[in-house]
Structure 1
Amino acid sequence: MRVALQADERAELFANKLLKLGNGGTDTVQSPDYVSLLNFGTPAENIDILLDRIYPQIHSNYENHTWLMQRAILAPHNDSVSQINKLLAEKLPTQTHTYTAINSVVDEEQAVHCTVEFLNSIEVPGLSPHVLDLKFGMPVMLLRSIKPPELMNGTRCIIHNCNRHFVEVVIAAGIYSAQHRSIPRIPLRPSDTMFPFQFERKQFPLRPCFA
Structure 2
Amino acid sequence: MRLSVGKDLSEIQQTRLFANWLLDIGDGNANGSNDGDAVIHILEDLITQSSDPIGSLIKFVYPSFLDNLNDPKYFEERSILAPKNQVVQEINDRLLSLFLGEEKEYLSLDSICQTEFIHNQFDESLYSPDALNGLKISGLPNHKLILKIGVPIMLLRNIDQKNGLCNDTRLQVVSLGNRVIETMVLTGSNIGHRVFISRLSLTPSDNKIHTSSKGDNFP
TM-score bracket for this pair, using the shorter chain length: 0.7 to 0.9
- Higher mean C-alpha displacement, 42-51 vs 137-146: 42-51
Alpha-carbon deviation of 1:153?
Answer: 2.2
Distance 1:178 1:130, change over 3 A: same
Distance 1:33 1:193, change over 3 A: farther
Match of 1:80 in 2: 87
SS of match in other structure, 1:60: helix
2: CA distance, partners of 1:55 / 1:33: 36
2: CA distance, partners of 1:35 / 1:100: 46
2: CA distance, partners of 1:34 / 1:53: 30
Matched, 1:68 2:72: no
Alpha-carbon deviation of 1:59?
Answer: 2.3
Match of 1:114 among 127, 135, 146: 127
**Please, what TM-score do these two structures have when normalized by structure 2?**
0.81
Matched, 1:190 2:204: yes
Is residue 150–residue 173 contact of structure 2 (8 Å, CA) maintained in 1?
A: yes
Match for 2:147: what amino acid? Answer: L
Alpha-carbon deviation of 1:7?
Answer: 6.4
Residues 1-59 of structure 1 show CA distances to partners (whole Å, capped at 9, x for unaligned) of: xxxxx9612211211110111122335xxxx7785343264223222212111111222
Unaligned runs of 5+ in 1: 1-5, 206-211
Is residue 124–residue 193 contact of structure 1 (8 Å, CA) maintained in 2?
A: no
Match of 1:59 among 66, 78, 90: 66
Match of 1:171 in 2: 185
Match of 1:209 in 2: none
SS of match in other structure, 1:8: helix
Is residue 132–residue 212 contact of structure 2 (8 Å, CA) maintained in 1?
A: no
Distance 1:111 1:35, change over 3 A: farther
Match of 1:137 among 115, 126, 150: 150
**Please, what TM-score do these two structures have when normalized by structure 1?**
0.84
Runs of at least 4 residues off by over 4 Å? 32-35
> Percent same amino acid at aligned positions?
29
Q: Which structure shows the higher strand fraction?
A: 1
SS of match in other structure, 1:49: helix
Distance 1:38 1:152, change over 3 A: closer
1: CA distance, partners of 2:70 / 2:215: 31
Instruction: Give me the CA root mean square deviation.
Output: 2.3
Matched, 1:21 2:25: yes
- Higher mean C-alpha displacement, 138-147 vs 196-205: 196-205
Instruction: Provide the aligned length of Structure 1 versus Structure 2.
Output: 197
Match of 1:97 in 2: 104
Match of 1:44 in 2: 48
Unaligned runs of 5+ in 2: 1-9
SS of match in other structure, 2:98: coil
Is residue 110–residue 212 contact of structure 2 (8 Å, CA) maintained in 1?
A: no
Distance 1:15 1:22, change over 3 A: same
Is residue 30–residue 38 contact of structure 2 (8 Å, CA) maintained in 1?
A: no
1: CA distance, partners of 2:24 / 2:44: 11
